[in-house]
Structure 1
Amino acid sequence: MLEAPRPGRREPLWEQQLRGEVMLLGPSVQQMVWAWLLHQRSEHTRAAYGRDLREWLAFCNERDLDPLMVTRGHGDAYRGWLQQVHGLAARSAARKLAAVSSWYSYLVEESVIDANRFKGARRPETNRKESKTVGLTESEARAVIRAAALDHGRERLRTAAIIALMISVGPRVAEVVDLQVSSLGYERGMRTVRIVGKGEKIRTRQLPSEAGVAIDAYLAVRGRTPGPLFVTATGKAMHTRDIAHVVKRVARQAGLFMPERVTPHTLRHTFATLAEERGSSVRQIQDALGHASADTTEIYLHAPKRLENDPSVQVARVLW
């Protein structure tokens, strides 16, 4: 099982909720739930899979379904429930179905069930060239950097360091949270940041001097004691939601249009699109972002061009 609650340890909400659902199941299923989650290397992947599995088990419990006896039809019903009842977008529903299917594949590997019948459930149609997240323009990115540097309060230097790092290097928000002071270094005369990505894959990135200056100013206040790089006022590691709050607040202060839509992932897209505009290849950007497939990188790069390259403008020029 995952680490049991103990004095001084705050159990994550997803873990509490998942425990409530598995309590209604037999010991063997309970064991396989926790074993599969422990099988995930990343804490963030474990939390995401845990939330997805909790929803599926709740769906089964409410309908008196034995999770070990489900068929493709049950998976199809669950897909419909996610999209029609909960209004999930196709991509989000597909991700949740993939997470549940991964659990069943694990059960097959462990000889708990003979086949992953859930795997046959029809996934929602998704447009692999479409992304709801679009990066900032160059002027918008500069406005965000200026707003972060002029942020107020005791956390101003931390804000500036976070924004500078995310826009110039493009890490995932979970990767930012996981950064340690020891992640910073030097290699071949260049400043570097060591990022631990999905699947514990490590990539060492060059840290631009501008981001390095912002981080040094922050460390002068934080101190260089070992531990998480970005910490709260109480010295604890920041959570992904803390970073999201910082990004959204700075977007408002920068005067961006619809700042509520700006997220940490927006800054990651911004890095990708600005890098391409300055001549970086898809392969270079893929390596920098830690994408397993160039197809994913292509989605990042296609999204901002979709409107600019829309042929409607050329057609209108002919007609008016």
Structure 2
Amino acid sequence: MALFGFHASHEQVPPGALLAAVRRAEEAGFDAAMSSDHLSPWSARQGQSAFAWSWLGAAMQATSLPFGVVTAPGQRYHPAIVAQAIGTLAAMFPGRFWAALGTGEASNEHVTGDPWPRKEVRNARLRECVDVIRALLRGEEVSHDGLVRVDRARVWTLPPEPPPLVGAAVSVATARWCAEWADGLITINQEVDTLREIVSAYRHEGGRGRLHLQVHLCWDPDPDRAEAIAHDQWRSNVFPPPACWDIDSPAVFDVVSAHVPRSAVHGPVVISHDLGRHAARLAEYAALGFDEIALHHVGREQDAFVDAFGAKVLPQLREHA
């Protein structure tokens, strides 16, 4: 049976409130949690962006949930620092942590002052980072000269077992590529047929491990308000690659999304006032073979969503399973 988790969106919720929300989610019956890791939000209206790695230690101490994070080594983060962060959390909370590795977005990575590489270069850089991180989590001393440079690095505090390094993919091609190196796959809600192709591509190429899905959704008892919240908070996130990868600031995201209509947010966000419809859609995703589904309510206020889904949606999903 799929696990249903709470997604902690640092770009929208201050870290103290987000800590309270994930504790509330555990009490409401959520099975797991997942964290974003950004330096900037996608919009000034979202207005936050706390440091995920500091928050993760507090959140894992405050709950008993398994946690994952989606991060991007190679530019803003040196892979040795990512390995140390992963190793520390996995040592403190054995068996409760996984990290998904992606190629990043210009809005977070440009702050180093280094050029933003082409997608194929970012893929190659990430692949080097994966090998570096794995070797460090095995306790090896690593030196490497390539798209990333490492000089005699070693991570001294190690977990009993290295945690899974999950591949992040939004396309069939990237899912195939992740199958070669990843311990699992994570993607986001899309058309069911597209998700089926992504899962099939990953497994067909020998992809191992658990399948994760992040679902952007919006619920409010008032259907007009549900749509309005989604439009206010998520209209900057309706642009497909490469735009979402290459736009480099919240200010630009806000300019290009200024005239996005409400109708365009449907699809990128599952919007409904009907909890039964949300449960049905999530059951459809689970039937595709996803092992863990992280629910991201795109509103900034999380309590009503957590309570409603804990009371009505999660029981329906478990009964259906």
TM-score of the aligned structures, taking structure 2 as reference length: 0.25
TM-score of the aligned structures, taking structure 1 as reference length: 0.25
Q: Which has the larger radius of gyration?
A: 1
Structure that is richer in helix per residue: 1
Structure that is richer in strand per residue: 2
